[in-house]
Chains A and B, each alone.
Chain A
Amino acid sequence: MPYKNRVAVVGAGLTKFMRRALETSKELAFEGASAALEDAGLTIDDIDCVVSVTAPEAFDGVHMNGEYLADGAGAWGKPYMRTYVGGGSGVFGLVTGWYHIASGHFDTCLVVAEEKMSPALPHPQGCFNAIYDQFTERPLGVNLLWIFSLEMNRYMQTYGVPMETFARVAQKNKRNGLDHPSAQSGVAADLDIEDIMASEIMAWPVQRLMVSPVSDGGGAMVLVSERFARRLSKPPVWIEGVGWNLDTSYWTNRDLYYPRYVEKAARMAYEMAGISDPRRDIHIAEPYDPFAYKELHHLEGLMLADKGQAPKLLEQGFWDRDTETGIPASPSGGLLGVGNPIAAAGMMKCAEIYWQLQGEAGPRQVKREVRRGLAQAWGDLMQVGTVVVMGK
């Protein structure tokens, strides 16, 4: 191993996800960080360094949001950095925490995620308009909904996937979310396929109940070196692989039907983890699911299904939480079922894998035995993939 330290996860914590939190961004960060420290049985005095993640600061309406969040993240008097790859930030926070410790510089790292989207009005989509080119895309009033609808349509047309399949993803994740204590009010739900199919079309083929909501929330995880982990009573979960990769920033220059950036990030993480057959070696997955089609799209990019096969596996129950032979996908409820405070939602996915591997997921605990799992997020200009593989 070329790294100085093997890195373990020893605690995770989340706030409730909300449409509009009273808490400031800093207070959300503090609540998430405190919960993670408590879960690890540690205090801030045990922490050597801090990493924070939050997506576009235009949501919070605070310029230099990483600096603003620092005290809420527990960074006073410590080496601190914010890391940022847009929506991929939640998972990338864990990657950044991993290399702080893997480098040998630190034994412990608190990784804190926060997102407060509610301050941005009239809608946070206004922030997303401004991530695109001011001459070629912004004049058309671009937002993420319609950019993604182009991608979804391409995926549907390529493989002939019916709308019911995407509704089924939303149904699965929203049902799973009913068991998550952080789930945003009204987002987790037990819905009929017909209800989901009847929800309003926002940008064809994207429908309201197949899109994750606007959310506020925080979360954190505690990473430690192997020698520190050995001093704790709870067995650690190891970070076995990390990967990240960037596709072209131009939507015009991309395949759209297949997320190459995810495949490359996954290959990097699998190689590091010594995984040659991900369908055998990955037992549980938290793919990034801000839109229903993205879960299937990403499962294919993660090579957990052949291209175009994730919808068929869905119909067979392969991704269900209670599958005994498949790979449970988004057992947490995902972004569709718990909520989408962007960076904190990615952290929630990582936390789910940690809790599942520890056997601490309570009513969400999957049926099959799990020794290794992954969390994946997607973001930046929607061309970045971030992957973390964890194992017992």
Chain B
Amino acid sequence: MLDKIGQTQNMRQVAGTIPIHHRYTLGVAGERFFRALRDEGRLLAAPCARCKVALLPPKMYCERCFRETSEEWVEVSGPGRVRSFTVLRYDLDGQPLDAPQIVALLEWPGIRGGLLHRLGEIAPGAVRTGMAAEPVWARQRTGALTDISHFRPSSD
């Protein structure tokens, strides 16, 4: 039996695709969050009255107490802090990147959640957890996460 399997030399392969593509709605919370990002260049968070934190990215509901979040959203102010980071050397297809890319998990006081984003204007070896970072806005904003081009080190 083992001899019969794995004989791949003469195997035909047929190309195929699943004949669909997708268009996603941003959702009730996403619509408002990305609109503020695009139109006002502001990062908003949705407070949960029961848990006494604000959620970033904002959600329609709090996943912990499972109640609707407040309609009174708040601006995320001040720099975030790097909770963790990594330095990428290869792209999604396994090809080497021209230059290493830093990705960081950013957090803010009083905020549950945070943002996963690129960190720039710093050498990979200089990044430290706990360091402060601020958003650098893209020249053209479309209402997407990439309206923030990247985060860069900032003073506290």
Q: Is A135 an interface residue (CB 8 A)?
A: yes
B25, A121: Cβ atoms under 8 Å?
no
Q: CB of A140 within 8 A of chain B?
A: no
B5 close to A (CB within 8 Å): no
Instruction: Judge whether B14 and A134 touch: CB under 8 Å.
Output: yes
Q: Enumerate A84-139 residues with CB–CB distance to B below 8 Å.
A: 118-124, 126-127, 129-130, 134-135, 138
Contacts of B22 in A (CB 8 A): 61, 119-121
Which residues from 10 to 31 on chain B have a C-beta closer than 8 Å to any C-beta of chain A?
14, 16, 18-31
The reply to whether B60 and A30 contact each other, CB–CB distance below 8 Å, is yes
Q: Which residues of B contact A76 (CB under 8 A)?
A: 63-64, 66
The docked-state distance in angstroms from the alpha carbon of A129 to that of B16 is 12
Considering the complex of A and B, which 9 residue pairs feature the smallest CB-CB distances, nearest first?
Answer: A61-B22, A24-B27, A44-B66, A126-B20, A71-B63, A126-B19, A130-B18, A119-B22, A76-B63
Interface residues as binary, A284-317 with B (CB distance below 8 Å gives 1, 0 otherwise): 0000000000000000000000000000000000
Nearest chain A CB to B71 CB, angstrom units: 15
- Pairwise interchain contact B64-A20, C-beta atoms closer than 8 A: no
> Which of B's residues lie within 8 Å of A, judged by CB?
14, 16, 18-31, 60-61, 63-66, 68
Question: How far does the alpha carbon of A268 sit from the alpha carbon of B93 in the complex, in Å?
Answer: 49
Contact yes or no, B66 A61, CB < 8 A: no
CA distance A33 to B61 in the complex (A): 11
A127 near B18 with CB under 8 A, answer: yes
Q: What is the bound-complex CA distance between A129 and B30, given in angstroms?
A: 31
A72 CB within 8 Å of chain B: yes
Do B61 and A124 touch across chains, with their CB atoms under 8 A apart?
A: no
Does B66 lie within 8 Å of A27, measured CB to CB? no
Q: What's the least CB distance linking B95 to chain A, in Å?
A: 22
Q: How far is the CB of A35 from chain B (nearest CB, A)?
A: 12
Let me know if B66 and A58 touch, CB within 8 A: no
The listed residue (B19, B21, B64) touching A77 by CB distance below 8 A is B64
Of the residues A33, A34, A119, A129, contact of B19 by C-beta under 8 Å: A129
Provide a sorted-by-A list of 28 A–B residue pairs whose CB atoms are within 8 angstroms. A20-B25, A21-B25, A23-B27, A23-B28, A24-B28, A24-B30, A26-B27, A30-B61, A34-B61, A34-B66, A34-B68, A37-B66, A44-B66, A61-B20, A61-B22, A72-B61, A74-B66, A76-B64, A118-B25, A119-B22, A120-B22, A121-B23, A124-B20, A126-B18, A126-B19, A127-B20, A134-B16, A138-B16
By the criterion CB–CB under 8 Å, are A22 and B31 in contact? yes
Which A residues are in CB contact (< 8 Å) with B27?
A: 22-24, 26-27
**Does A253 reach chain B (CB closer than 8 Å)?**
no
Interface SS majority for chain A: loop
Whether A233 is near chain B, meaning CB under 8 Å from some CB there, is no
Residue in A27, A72, A121 whose CB lies within 8 Å of B20: A121
Indicate if the CB atoms of A130 and B19 lie closer than 8 Å. Answer: yes
* Chain A interface residue count, Cβ-Cβ cutoff 8 angstroms: 34
Q: Give the Cβ gap from B151 to chain A, nearest Cβ, in Å.
A: 25
Contact with B along A49-61 (1 / 0, CB 8 A): 0000000001001
Residue in B closest to A37 when the chains form the complex, CB atoms: B66
- The reply to whether B24 and A44 contact each other, CB–CB distance below 8 Å, is no
Any B CB within 8 A of the CB of A252: no
Decide if A276 is an interface residue (CB 8 Å cutoff).
no
B63 close to A120 (CB less than 8 A): no
Cβ-defined contact, A24 with B25, below 8 A: yes
Are B18 and A129 interface neighbours, CB within 8 A?
yes
Most buried by A among B16, B20, B25, B63: B20
Report chain A residues within 8 Å CB of B19.
Answer: 126, 129-130
Q: How many angstroms between the C-alpha atoms of A61 and B23 in the bound complex?
A: 8
Starting from the known contacts A27-B61, A123-B20, 8 additional A-B residue pairs (CB-CB under 8 Å) come to: A20-B25, A27-B27, A27-B28, A34-B66, A61-B22, A118-B23, A121-B23, A130-B18
Q: Considering the chains assembled together, what is the distance between the CA atoms of A61 and B26 in angstroms?
A: 13
